[in-house]
RNA sequence: GGAGCCGUAGUUCAGCACGGUCAGAACGCCGGCCUGUCAAGCCGGAGGUCGCGGGUUCAAGUCCCGUCGGCUCCGCCA
């Protein structure tokens, strides 16, 4: 076999008049009768190869039998293309390889879809024939980009003295958080391993072990429903540091992210990144991961309507809720467009969508008749209403208003192309609440995870909350406790999150008491961590980046599937392998598993 | 668990609102011609369970119900 000494995509001036051996796939063949052009492709690119019938009839005949995606090896002389026939679209477009020897290493059946074009393909087709999909340029570039990102990431961690350690995949199920993937134990009937949702506990134990600075690029697994930015298995850049506070973790993170953007995209991010409090993010954008590349901010109106006659608003305010609005300025939306937006908010759980349209100084609205003149005037002034504006309202419990208007804002931003996709909006969201009330479980749950440290100045509120009998009072005390947590948000996606952890037993026990995790259970579920903390746990904290999301955002892609070599469909299926699938009864028996029905 | 969009040739799609020459296009594939193309060109050809099941109707890609699959979103995702 002729063995490659050059990649097709690397043919350049220095190869002129030299002999090269290429290995690759037939990208395209153009037969002109007496001359055949063959575009040969490998990982690095494409080069045109040529054979003329009168010069080399045997090779010409062989080349005539070539079809798309045949695998070939060829030897040839590189020459400059005749003037006027250069192809500026190709990196190697000034040159061509005159074929002297040609070996067909393998044939290829008729393709299910063209590899050489960027035809839109259904997700199912892409994934079923992923090996062909990955031959396509954009997908190939996505993976090569990702590859470079791994290398830069490792280098930056190395420069900063981090140690790479692997943590177990067969581990213990822990309460709180996402649903675990379980692995039945053959050696221990009835017992199960859990696949890790993240290396969280292990990396903290590594800090106790004195490794000081740890990192890992690691798969995490969560058995939850999928989204464009969520796969059941995904990759995190995970790290943890000892003897640090949030400033250390954040500034290292900034170095890593800024380096990736600089070296991969040539984009210089301004450091330190901007910071926004959780509260401000929610109040202005209705989201803890705001996309600030467009306006349409939420406007507070509760005070204006606190005594209103309009029942919908008044009831919301009386029961502790809020009234907020967004003003889609100069949009001149038609009734039909407003109806479509109404349908959208209804699909996410709103009862309806109140609106006012400003037209030539006149107001058009189904709810205006319920407002007093003062309310209308105050409202118009607050939202800075001008002709052409359409104002949308939401009045409900705070969380609901944020959800409705936050999503509506985003929906409008996308639907009406308000987003400047040429820039990156990078920010930290900080000052998260430590705990939030879970209405379903009737208890407090950790917003990040139960090991997140509260701010020192807020700890006394936790103590006080424990002593408070009345639930509403207790809620308001607990909700005012801020966590030493931080999320990195880029273009409206949470690409990373972390915190300074609790490293002292007493504080951890206090948090467990508030989470209503009984001592017995805490001991049973993560007693190993609590025990480790007894033996000299250093103060520590860390962060994990969602690697797939980060790469997708940097590549300007909407779905992380496009940066994962072999992703799953929305139902968690792998069309390439057919996983998940049934297994042999014998396998089940070994695992002591009996299927119901 | 819920909402929306989609499913027609190997691929991407049109046809569906108004049921009746609607089995169509492009690309791909096969055959032929062609010495400078590069999404080569020209001529010819093959290729379909309209996702699946049921219903309405004289008649169903087209309307209705169910179901399966793909995508987006809500719930869920510390």
Q: How many CA atoms lie within 13 A of A61 on its CB side?
A: 2
Distance, Å, A223 CA → B76 C1': 10
Which nucleotide has the shortest C1'-to-CA distance from A113? B11
**Window 496-515 of chain A: CB closer than 7 A to strand B:** none
Q: pLDDT of A525-574, one tens digit each?
A: 888 888 999 999 999 999 999 999 999 999 999 999 999 999 999 999 99
Nearest to A201 by CA among A514, A546, A502, A550: A502
Residue A259's pLDDT is what? 98
Gap between the Cα atoms of A339 and A179, Å rounded: 38
- Average pLDDT of every residue of chain A: 94
ipTM over 0.85: yes
Distance, Å, A570 CA → B51 C1': 18
Average pLDDT over residues A425-429: 98
Q: pLDDT of A231-260, one tens digit each?
A: 999 999 999 999 999 999 999 999 999 999
Q: pLDDT of A6-24, one tens digit each?
A: 999 999 999 999 999 999 9
Distance, Å, A97 CA → B31 C1': 29
- For residue A118, is pLDDT > 80? no
Task: List phi, psi (to 5°) of A553.
Answer: -65, -45
- For residue A597, is pLDDT > 70? no
Contact A68, A26 (CB under 8 A): yes
Distance, Å, A342 CA → B6 C1': 22
- The reply to whether the CB atom of residue A121 sits less than 7 A from any atom in nucleic acid chain B is yes
DSSP state of A398: H
- For residue A316, is pLDDT > 70? yes
What's the count of helices (H) and strands (E) in chain A, helices before strands? 17, 22
The domain defined by A121-274+487-503+538-597 folds into: BirA Bifunctional Protein; domain 2 (3.30.930)
The domain defined by A8-106 folds into: OB fold (Dihydrolipoamide Acetyltransferase, E2P) (2.40.50)
- The reply to whether the CB atom of residue A48 sits less than 7 A from any atom in nucleic acid chain B is yes
Q: Which overall architecture, per CATH, does domain A294-415 show?
A: 2-Layer Sandwich (3.30)
Residue A521's pLDDT is what? 80
What is the share, in percent, of chain A residues with pLDDT greater than 70?
99
Task: List phi, psi (to 5°) of A443.
Answer: -160, 170
- For residue A176, is pLDDT > 80? no
**Full-model pTM:** 0.95
- The reply to whether the CB atom of residue A407 sits less than 7 A from any atom in nucleic acid chain B is yes
Boundaries of every domain in chain A? 8-106, 121-274+487-503+538-597, 294-415, 433-482+511-535
Whether the link from the prior residue into A55 is cis, omega within 30° of 0, is no
Which nucleotide has the shortest C1'-to-CA distance from A411? B73
Average pLDDT over residues A375-385: 95
Question: Residue at minimal CA–C1' distance from B29?
Answer: A110
- For residue A443, is pLDDT > 90? no
Nucleotides of B under 7 A from a protein CB: 1-4, 10-13, 27-30, 33-41, 69-78
């Amino acid at each position: 076999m002729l063995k490659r000494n050059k990649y097709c995509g690397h043919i350049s001036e220095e190869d002129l008049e030299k002999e090269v051996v290429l290995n690759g796939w037939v990208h395209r063949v153009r037969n002109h009768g007496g001359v055949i052009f063959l575009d040969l492709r490998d990982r690095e690119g494409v080069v045109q190869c040529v054979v003329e019938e009168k010069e080399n009839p045997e090779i010409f005949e062989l080349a005539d039998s070539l079809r798309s995606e045949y695998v070939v090896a060829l030897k040839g002389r590189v020459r400059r293309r005749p003037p006027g026939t250069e192809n500026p679209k190709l990196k190697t477009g000034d040159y061509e390889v005159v074929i002297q020897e040609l070996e067909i290493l393998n044939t290829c059946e008729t393709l299910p879809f063209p590899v050489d074009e960027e035809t839109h393909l259904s997700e199912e087709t892409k994934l079923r024939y992923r090996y062909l999909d990955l031959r396509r340029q954009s997908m190939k570039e996505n993976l090569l980009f990702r590859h470079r990102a791994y290398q830069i990431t490792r280098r930056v961690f190395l420069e900063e003295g981090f140690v790479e350690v692997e943590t177990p995949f067969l581990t213990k199920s822990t309460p709180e958080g996402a649903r675990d993937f379980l692995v039945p134990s053959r050696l221990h009937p009835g017992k199960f391993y859990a696949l890790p949702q993240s290396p969280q506990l292990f990396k903290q134990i590594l800090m106790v072990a004195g490794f000081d600075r740890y990192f890992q690029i690691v798969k995490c697994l969560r058995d939850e429903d999928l989204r464009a930015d969520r796969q059941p298995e995904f990759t995190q850049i995970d790290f943890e540091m000892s003897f640090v506070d949030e400033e250390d973790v954040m500034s290292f993170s900034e170095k890593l992210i800024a380096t990736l953007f600089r070296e991969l995209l040539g984009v210089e991010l301004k450091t330190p990144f901007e910071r926004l409090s959780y509260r401000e993010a929610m109040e202005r954008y209705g989201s803890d991961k705001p996309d600030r590349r467009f306006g349409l901010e939420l406007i507070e109106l509760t005070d204006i309507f606190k005594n209103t006659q309009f029942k919908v608003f008044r009831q919301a305010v009386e029961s502790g809720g809020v009234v907020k609005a967004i003003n889609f300025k100069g949009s001149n939306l038609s009734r039909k467009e407003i109806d479509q937006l109404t349908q959208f908010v209804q699909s996410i759980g709103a009862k309806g969508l109140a609106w006012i349209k400003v037209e030539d100084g006149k107001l058009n609205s189904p709810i205006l008749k319920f407002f007093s003149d003062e309310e209308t005037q105050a409202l118009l002034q607050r939202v800075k209403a001008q002709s052409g504006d359409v104002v949308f309202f939401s009045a409900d419990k705070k969380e609901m208003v944020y959800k409705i208007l936050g999503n509506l804002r985003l929906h409008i931003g996308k639907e009406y192309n308000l987003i400047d996709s040429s820039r990156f909006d990078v920010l930290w969201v900080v000052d998260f609440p430590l705990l939030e009330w879970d209405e379903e479980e009737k208890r407090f749950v950790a917003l990040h995870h139960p090991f997140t440290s509260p701010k020192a100045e807020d700890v006394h509120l936790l103590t006080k909350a424990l002593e408070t009998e009345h639930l509403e009072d207790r809620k308001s005390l607990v909700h005012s406790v801020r966590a030493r947590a931080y999320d990195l948000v880029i273009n409206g996606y949470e690409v990373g999150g972390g915190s300074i952890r609790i490293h002292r037993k007493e504080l951890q026990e206090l948090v467990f008491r508030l989470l209503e995790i009984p001592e017995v259970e805490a001991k049973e579920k993560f007693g190993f961590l609590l025990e480790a903390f007894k033996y000299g746990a250093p103060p520590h904290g860390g962060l994990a980046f969602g690697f797939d999301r980060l790469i997708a955002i940097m590549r300007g892609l909407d779905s992380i599937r496009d940066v994962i070599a072999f992703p799953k469909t929305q139902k968690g299926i792998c069309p390439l392998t057919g996983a998940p699938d049934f297994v042999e009864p014998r396998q089940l028996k070994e695992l002591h598993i009996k299927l119901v029905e």
